[in-house]
Structure 1
Amino acid sequence: MKYTEDIVKKAAINAYLNGDVEFEIITSKCALIVIDMQDEFVKPKWTPFWVPEATNQVPKIKKMIEVCRGKNIPVIYTAFKDTHLFKDRPKTGQLMPNRYPHLGNDPLWFNEGKIWHEITPKENEVVIFKPSYGAFFNTSLETILKNFEKDTIIICGTLTNYCCGTTARQGYERGFKVVFGSDVTSTDIPEMQEPELQVLRKGFAKVLDFKSIIEKLK
């Protein structure tokens, strides 16, 4: 068979748009990871990092959390906050344009790492304060998942193409099955959502919408 430009292009397009990684979602092996649904990203108009779509998705994420709790699926939260005098994070982080220095800074931001009040963690649920985008980088998440005896992570939260997507990639590289919520993850610019989902669909995760995930968990 000769792999013409047309053949390989069609194969790539189909994988981006329709690819479905072949693994079964086994409820007893799942953990839900709620990425960075904290005040700095969810509370309307409070910071320049507010993600309006994250606020809009709170009801669906709340429902997903409730379903997982009802199925004894561990719910693990992540958030940013001041940890280790900020010495535990990538050195060039402060140089990145996503810090918006021209919009000012408030010492209250990212001080507590407070999860949005509508989806507050229970006392027996894990909250991981992470130093960078991915939830596995310099955290105990992998050890926690292994101790829970889970091999599948379901990802929801914000931002799709930064913290959520990076966590999906890191989970994949560590041998976890990754389920990525297409409409329970959000970006600061809606046009960036679908391109990231396409990349994840082709090479890193099973990308499903909220209703499909809930149905498979039931």
Structure 2
Amino acid sequence: MSNGRSAVVVIDMINTYEHGDADLLLPSVEKALPAMGRLIHRAREHGVPVIYVNDNFGQWRSHHGEILESALAGARADLVEPLRPDGDSLFVVKARHSIFFETPLAYLLSQLDIDHITLCGQVTEQCVLYSALDAHIRHLQITVPEDAVAHIHADLAEAALKMMRTNMGATIQHSDAIQF
């Protein structure tokens, strides 16, 4: 698959779901959650790094533990608990859509000799798409498990997956087909 190593990047799943489009997003999150959980579990079993990259929700003094605590105390903790970071998980806080924008993620990936990332999480037509583009321009190989990403708008998500495949050379496949 690649000369270096692979990592699974979990995008924005530590979430309180207290935002404007949550009602549109929740059905897709509920559907994608089992596949995300299986993917993360398999990655951990194979010693593949799992890196959570998450919005800080404007709480500039918060760290990953506080973000997780807030999400677990929220109304939809049932969507957070199955994907909870373990003691080996890495965590990067982001402020914008891309997992790379003004974060140390590129440096972290280089230090871990990672040249292939599997992106799962939310939102397909926003953060996943922009992150895939930024990964592509950094010469990383990209896989997106189509059943382990959640969307707000199904038509835009489908277009985003097509763009990732066509324009970025991303492998788009079912999560169970991903081999580590």
The verdict on a shared fold, with TM-score over 0.5 as the criterion, is yes
Of 106, 109, 112, 2:67 maps to: 112
- Quickly say closer, same or farther: Cα 1:27–1:70, change in 2 above 3 A: farther
| Structure 2 segments unaligned to the other structure (5+ residues) | 73-79
Are positions 1:72 and 2:43 aligned together? no
- Residue 163 of structure 1 aligns with which residue? 127
Q: Normalized against structure 1, the TM-score is what?
A: 0.68
Indicate if the aligned counterparts of 1:155 and 1:164 stay in contact, CA closer than 8 A. Answer: yes
Are positions 1:185 and 2:167 aligned together? no
Indicate if the aligned counterparts of 1:30 and 1:154 stay in contact, CA closer than 8 A. Answer: yes
| Structure 1 segments unaligned to the other structure (5+ residues) | 1-24, 86-110
Larger Rg: 1
The structural deviation recorded for 1:27 is 9.4
- Quickly say closer, same or farther: Cα 1:83–1:140, change in 2 above 3 A: farther
Are positions 1:37 and 2:13 aligned together? yes
Indicate if the aligned counterparts of 1:27 and 1:73 stay in contact, CA closer than 8 A. Answer: no
Of 170, 174, 178, 1:209 maps to: 174
- Map residues 77-96 of structure 1 onto 2, 5 A cutoff: 77-81=52-56, 82-84=58-60
State percent identity of aligned pairs. Answer: 20
Aligned equivalents of 1:174, 1:74: Cα separation in 2: 19
Are positions 1:142 and 2:106 aligned together? yes
Indicate if the aligned counterparts of 1:27 and 1:71 stay in contact, CA closer than 8 A. Answer: no
Indicate if the aligned counterparts of 1:83 and 1:131 stay in contact, CA closer than 8 A. Answer: no
- Residue 174 of structure 1 aligns with which residue? 138
Indicate if the aligned counterparts of 1:134 and 1:167 stay in contact, CA closer than 8 A. Answer: yes
Letter in 2 for 1:61: M
Aligned equivalents of 1:77, 1:198: Cα separation in 2: 24
Aligned equivalents of 1:40, 1:190: Cα separation in 2: 22
Aligned equivalents of 1:189, 1:183: Cα separation in 2: 15
Aligned equivalents of 2:177, 2:160: Cα separation in 1: 19
Q: Normalized against structure 2, the TM-score is what?
A: 0.82
Indicate if the aligned counterparts of 1:159 and 1:185 stay in contact, CA closer than 8 A. Answer: yes
Count, aligned residues: 162
Indicate if the aligned counterparts of 2:14 and 2:67 stay in contact, CA closer than 8 A. Answer: no
- Residue 94 of structure 1 aligns with which residue? none
Indicate if the aligned counterparts of 1:178 and 1:206 stay in contact, CA closer than 8 A. Answer: yes
Cα-to-partner distance string for 1:29-71 (whole Å, 9 max, x where unaligned): 1000001112234xxxx54332121122111101100000011
Aligned equivalents of 2:139, 2:98: Cα separation in 1: 15
Aligned equivalents of 1:129, 1:69: Cα separation in 2: 21
**RMSD of equivalent CA atoms:** 2.0
